[in-house]
Structure 1
């Protein structure tokens, strides 16, 4: 029997395979797929999955939603109203059991068990936002001779994540994703889904590598030990 977890993993594996095809095309200088809406949606879903399924994002979400105790009293009071509404719709709910589970919500709700579904749902929303609701340009960055791109366990990073309004909302999204030691990409809002190429400076690659280093959760990967030591 196939489990729900296996289905989720199969979905992720399928998009990983498709994503690798797009990455290979970009590295080979073939970006015509970006003008095709269906291909672009699949590409953005892969990018979104690379962003949301990491341990860094997972731990951040758990931290945000881990303390339910302060809400449990209010939720417990609402159980009777929910049960009454359910009965009107011929749905049976055990009120006493529901109240007991709500009272100990932090213990009864294991967010780690929902992360696979949360990641897929979040990736769907992001893929739609990036490929349909908005227009993002794709900029291919070429490393100069000398320093190489590094990557980490948070492979896709929003370079503007620290720029927020008074409510803490991120003001802008500029996604950065190193594909190899010589090539990285930027995805940012534009008037059309355009493709650009840019040969970056030594200062720029050091800035980008520093951002990756600072925003990695546990691991950073580089082509040489010297690349990492220069960031410490």
Structure 2
């Protein structure tokens, strides 16, 4: 399995002409940002530290996603090891807001109106939500993953390299425990290829204990049957425009 670099995907991106190009695991080149802007495409970068946010802003991105350690899935750190870039949303968002002159999008552990209101109070201009929508009927995950989101407490999620070789937050299920206990985890992308041999079959059979069950620490709050209900709850936390 070959993982193409961003530069090798540009023709497809320009042809698709999205409203926004969002990048992770690094800073987009000056050429990419300039061409996106020439085409009327806004560029968003993701940061896990203030230094990463400053680097992205310096590259000319239009907004920065400040991703706290509470967030589910992979850590998008790129200046230091992901393990050395763990800052919570409460501390990260206001510091990023103070450090950059572009809008900041808060991400990590936000699953209801209270999290949204808190993010705006910290100075964020928007929020990015993942886990709350993963649990809805419209999500592409299977029922085992949905059930795991609704039954996993915040302290039962774990940051692990077991499934992909990159640090990511998800449920500490049977396969994560077994791989971590083995003491052998290959670097990304090799580990991702290895676990992919059984993850696909596990997903098809609904075997949650053998899947990557990515979720953030706000998982216990993500109890929305439909995406519309999730949207309605989150929108209730957006402060009125002045």
Where on the TM-score scale, by shorter chain, does this alignment land: which range? under 0.3
Larger radius of gyration between Structure 1 and Structure 2: 1
Q: TM-score, length-normalised on structure 2?
A: 0.22
User: Per chain length, whose mean CA-contact separation is higher, i.e. which structure has more relative contact order (CA < 8 Å, sep 6+)?
Assistant: 1
Pick the structure with more helix per residue: 1
